[in-house]
Amino acid sequence: MLDFQPNSDALSGKTILVTGAGDGIGKEAALQFARYGANVILLGRTIAKLEATYDLCEKQSNAELAIVPLDLEGATVKHYQDMASTIENQFGKLDGLLHNASLLGQLQPFGQIPEAEFRQVMQVNLNGQFFMTQALLPVLKKAPNASVVFTSSSVGVKGRAYWGTYAISKFATEGMMQCLADEYSNSTMRFNCINPGGTRTGMRAKAFPAENPESLKTPTDIMPAYLYLMADASIGVTGETLNCQPK
Ligand code: NDP
């Protein structure tokens, strides 16, 4: 799956929602999904960035595109329910959901993590995707083989000093994916995680400011795993974490 080469129409007829579609990995995933034939819903908090992704997808695909401006930090259950109704009215079903948006927060000693920062990162990285998934389940069930992909991290399977809040949110993400995969194991819906590994984005530069970005894979390099999990090639794969850059 790390060298998955889809047919050019692999995602044709599918509608996929990407969170954090304005930058980094989410922007590239939205573009690739559109190029391979999906209709793509671009969700994020910075409208100008979403518009730039929209323009890129429009130039490079025939996809039907939609923008959902939403800050996961302030989003309520009602926002997610309204979004689910809008998606159902416009597209009829949701075939794919990529939970990609996340905050890194500050890397700092556990004892010094401020309450506000812990709550903010958990709200975006955990609560947002929990309530969004809950609201979208009915419209995901309308698709014949819906695929929900969460974004994990190496610190989501092994804790690391000073990465407290972010790492805890990623462990919870892995847990949410596993609970859903087990609960829906007799359905056609599948739930998996991707661990992108160190990838050349703004978040990585913030975490490792002294690192040479040229030494890292780009978002484009890691797209085969994203395309695999959204394409019918991965039907039946559930409860897995795909590591895009195994050592
Ligand atoms: P970026 O910081 O480059 O992009 C994150 C995206 O999430 C941005 O578009 C950002 O919007 C959006 N976002 C952040 N907060 C919110 C919010 N409150 N509401 C809505 N959208 C929000 O990160 P990456 O592309 O590097 O990361 C993508 C995913 O991959 C994340 O889940 C990250 O944890 C994970 N990951 C990344 C790794 C890496 O090396 N890059 C390694 C392991 C995991 P805006 O642009 O407006 O800020």
Task: Establish whether residue 203 lines the binding site of ligand 1, counting it when its CB lies within 6 angstroms of any ligand atom.
Answer: yes
How big is the chain, counted in residues? 247
> Which of the residues in the chain have pLDDT under 50?
none
Task: Establish whether residue 71 lines the binding site of ligand 1, counting it when its CB lies within 6 angstroms of any ligand atom.
Answer: yes
Instruction: Give pLDDT, residue 1.
Output: 77
Q: Read off the pTM.
A: 0.98
Q: Which atom of ligand 1 is least distant from the CA of 125?
A: 32
SS3 159: coil
CA of 103 from ligand 1 middle (Å) equals 6
Instruction: Give pLDDT, residue 113.
Output: 97
Residues tagged active-site: 166
CA of 140 from ligand 1 middle (Å) equals 23
Task: Establish whether residue 196 lines the binding site of ligand 1, counting it when its CB lies within 6 angstroms of any ligand atom.
Answer: yes
Instruction: Give pLDDT, residue 2.
Output: 84
Q: Which atom of ligand 1 is least distant from the CA of 101?
A: 7
Per-position DSSP letters for 182-244, written without gaps between them: HHTTTSS-EEEEEE--SBSSHHHHHH-TTS-GGGSBPTGGGHHHHHHHHSGGGTT--S-EEES
Instruction: Give pLDDT, residue 246.
Output: 87
Task: Establish whether residue 6 lines the binding site of ligand 1, counting it when its CB lies within 6 angstroms of any ligand atom.
Answer: no
For ligand 1, atom 37: residue with the closest CA: 196
Parse the chain into domains and list their residue ranges.
15-239
Most informative mutation of 18, 19, 25 for ligand 1 (most atoms within 8 A of CB): 25
Most informative mutation of 27, 41, 43, 45 for ligand 1 (most atoms within 8 A of CB): 45
Whether 197 and 243 have beta carbons less than 8 Å apart is answered as yes
Name 35's Cβ contacts closer than 8 Å, sequence gap at least 6: 60, 61
CA of 186 from ligand 1 middle (Å) equals 32
Which of 210, 128, 215 minimizes the C-alpha distance to 173? 128
CATH architecture of the region 15-239:
3-Layer(aba) Sandwich (3.40)
Q: What would the two tokens of residue 127 be?
A: 């609560």
Most informative mutation of 18, 23, 56 for ligand 1 (most atoms within 8 A of CB): 23
For ligand 1, atom 6: residue with the closest CA: 20
Q: Which amino acid is at 136?
A: L
Query: What are the angstrom distances between the C-alpha of 105 and each of 34, 69, 82, 117, 239?
Result: 30, 21, 29, 7, 27
β-bridge partners, 191? 148
Tens digits of per-residue pLDDT, 100-157? 999 999 999 999 999 999 999 999 999 999 999 999 999 999 999 999 999 999 999 9
